[in-house]
Amino acid sequence: MDSRKSPRKILLAVREGGVDARLLASARSLCQRMDAELDILVRCAKDALPAELGEFIRELRAAGLPYSLSQRADLRRRDIVDYANGHECISSVVIDSLEGWETIAADRASDPWARLACPLVTAAPPRTPGASG
């Protein structure tokens, strides 16, 4: 890797209640395929890291995969897009779903995802047949 360039990174944005094994596996697999580091943004209280994410971080450490972790009490779509667009080393963003990121429905006509300058990967768990939503 060229030491003058920033390393390639994948941004994983997660939230309490949205941490799923499929989401974590997708982010890890993408990092391995792209030879990229992992930036993790998690929406939760500073002292309340979701248990699934704690286990995932232990797995990353054991595998020697570089990562960074930032916990935020509030993390909106716009924050994720601004973070990714503000770091040119971000190659892709991985989230669980496009829905449910805003705690308050501000301007429903705006779509921050449309401003994202890199690919967006959604890795929501498969829906069960007959589920509505």
Question: Which architecture characterizes domain 9-100+113-122 according to CATH?
Answer: 3-Layer(aba) Sandwich (3.40)
Encoding tokens for residue 50? 């979701």
Q: Where are the domains of the chain?
A: 9-100+113-122
Say how many residues make up the chain: 133
- Which residues of the chain carry a pLDDT beneath 50? 1-4, 131-133
**pLDDT at 44 (0 to 100):** 86
- 69-85 burial: b if 16+ Cβ within 10 Å, else e: eebbeebbbebbbebbe
Asked whether the beta carbons of 53 and 14 are under 8 A apart, the reply is: yes
